[in-house]
Amino acid sequence: MNIKTLTVLICMLLHTFGCFCLANTNAQQQQKLSLEDILAIAEAQSWTASSAKINAQISIAQFEMVLANAKPQLTLQATAPNFYRSSTAVTQPNGSISFQQIEQNRANLVLSAQQQISQTGGTISLQTDLTRFDDFSLESRQYNGRPFRLSLQQPLFGFRSLHWNKKLARLSLQEAESVYSQAMEETFYIAVLYYFQVLVAQENEQIASDNQTVAENQLAISAERLALGKISRDEHLQLSIQLESANLNQRNAALQRKQAEEQLWLHIADSKSRDNIIYTVPDELPLRLVEEQTALAQALLNRPEQRTYKKELLQRESEFQQTKRETGIQANLLASLGYSRGSERLEPIYTDPLAEQQLLLQISVPILDGGNRRSSIRRAEHMMKLTEIENEHWIADLEQRVRTRVREFNQQQSNVKDQALILELARQRFQISNDRFALGLINVTDWSIAQQEKNGARRAYIQALSDYWTNYYELRLLTSYDFVGDRSLLQNIDK
């Protein structure tokens, strides 16, 4: 090795060391974010997560509304005043009509409590009321009141709407919990996709930057070797082209990274400018293999579609029962007992009331309906069968998707290890080729091939990790199950 070649090598090493120090100084000023950090931000503030939480609260409110209808209701009604002054026709004892001026006022106060009976579909109520009537034309005043009245209204063959509504409300709440968990997992899955798009863009930018540095160093060596006549001008121009290509690739990669970052931060509801951030490459999960049967069982247990199916099937059964009840024989029972009295004074209504009883039974029997009841029942039965068939198809499709994702994920664990080994070997090969090129032992083409293999191995490793992590979170999305923590991802909505 002559002195000129040695001088070039020393200059190249000093340039590389200076670039390394500068890069290390810049790295100290940069913020590092991991995939775990991004997922935590997404869970706390993403629009998808916020929408899921609001929808969950809406479901809670709907559930509480149904429960409230099943509780006793207390109502106070008042009408005062109800004043009326006019001229009206008054029929006389002999049948003639006399138009007289009247001036009246009616005031009414009613306090009632009622309770629906979900087991029978009836309603029991307790009531007290008082009415005052003033006739200013006759200068008279009368009272009418019910100190106490207990009544029962019971459809004998009717549809028990409250009974079914309570059942449907419970299933709706369970469905809402599952939908909420599903929405959060979808948020994580999309965040992982966008995060690895940023990582790919970041890796391309770093590769382009490394290629710039290497190309500058090799071009300097090549210029010295060209002057010594050890390489052709063609090889020197090839290195110049590679340097310009590296510059172009670096600018394009920087733009792609900026766009990928904006998409990521937009998803997690943070549109602020994000500069000087290094996104770290996540390691593999502490997980070996996922068993297909475990994944299938958890998917069928946790997926919101399964709970939606149960709710829809119950809804169809409810509609079937309602059709049978409302198109057949109708019978309504009304029974009441209590006390009531009318008087010109208020005291007797409460001190000496009169007994009051009522018993009423109404029956309606359809004799000829043109086949309406039969057709309505058949329609309800077919709707139930259709719901069962659709659920069977959904289960078959879900099982296929889960099996495919489990097999791909298990395979990708091996792929990541293989790509990591390939990357390490490609780095070693490039280092050897780089040193040999500096010593003039290989040509530009062989050096360029080694560089391309190294760059391709870096991209392939990031892509393998991307496939690995996105597949895992898609598997979580399909099953609502954390295979690392061995726990269900269903979250109870705070009531």
Beta bridge partners of 333: 154, 361
- Asked if 284 and 253 sit in the same domain, the reply is yes
Nearest C-alpha neighbor of 72 from the set 42, 108, 114, 122: 114
Q: Which residue has the higher pLDDT, 21 or 239?
A: 239
Q: What does the block give as tokens for 325?
A: 């009840």
Q: Number of folded domains in the chain?
A: 2
- Asked if 306 and 428 sit in the same domain, the reply is yes
pLDDT category of residue 4 using cuts at 50, 70 and 90: very low
- Asked if 361 and 430 sit in the same domain, the reply is no
| pLDDT over 70 at 18, yes or no | no
CB neighbour class for 57 (10 Å; exposed up to 12, middle 13-18, buried from 19): middle
- Asked if 261 and 404 sit in the same domain, the reply is yes
| pLDDT over 80 at 224, yes or no | no
- 453: CATH: 1.20.1600.10
pLDDT at 73: 92
Nearest C-alpha neighbor of 187 from the set 55, 48, 299: 48
Q: Highest-confidence range of 63-67, 463-467, 486-490, by mean pLDDT?
A: 463-467
Using one digit for the tens of pLDDT, what is the confidence trace for 460-469? 999 999 999 9
Q: Which residues of 370-387 are buried (b: 16+ CB within 10 A; e: fewer)?
A: eeeeeebeeebeebbeeb
State the average pLDDT over residues 1-18: 45
- Asked if 415 and 434 sit in the same domain, the reply is yes
pLDDT at 467: 93
Q: Which residue has the higher pLDDT, 133 or 370?
A: 133
| pLDDT over 90 at 244, yes or no | no
Q: Which residue has the higher pLDDT, 235 or 337?
A: 337
Using one digit for the tens of pLDDT, what is the confidence trace for 253-277? 889 888 988 889 888 877 665 677 8
In DSSP notation, 39-71 reads: HHHHHHH-HHHHHHHHHHHHHHHHHHHHHHHTS
Please indicate, yes or no, if residue 458 is contained in any of the structural domains.
Answer: yes
pLDDT category of residue 396 using cuts at 50, 70 and 90: very high
Residue showing tokens 């099996």: 403
What pTM did the predictor assign? 0.73
Using one digit for the tens of pLDDT, what is the confidence trace for 355-365? 999 999 999 88
CA distance 246 to 20: 18
Using one digit for the tens of pLDDT, what is the confidence trace for 309-322? 888 888 888 888 88
- Asked if 134 and 113 sit in the same domain, the reply is yes
With H, G, I as helix, E, B as strand and everything else as coil, classify residue 323: helix
Q: Which of 311-320, 342-351, 368-377, 421-430 has the lowest mean pLDDT?
A: 368-377
Please indicate, yes or no, if residue 449 is contained in any of the structural domains.
Answer: yes
- Asked if 188 and 263 sit in the same domain, the reply is yes
Domain of residue 404: give its range: 3-63+165-314+383-488
Task: Provide CB contacts within 8 A for 296, sequence distance 6+.
Answer: 399, 402, 403
Please indicate, yes or no, if residue 269 is contained in any of the structural domains.
Answer: yes
Using one digit for the tens of pLDDT, what is the confidence trace for 152-210? 999 888 888 888 888 888 888 888 888 888 888 999 999 999 999 999 999 988 888 88
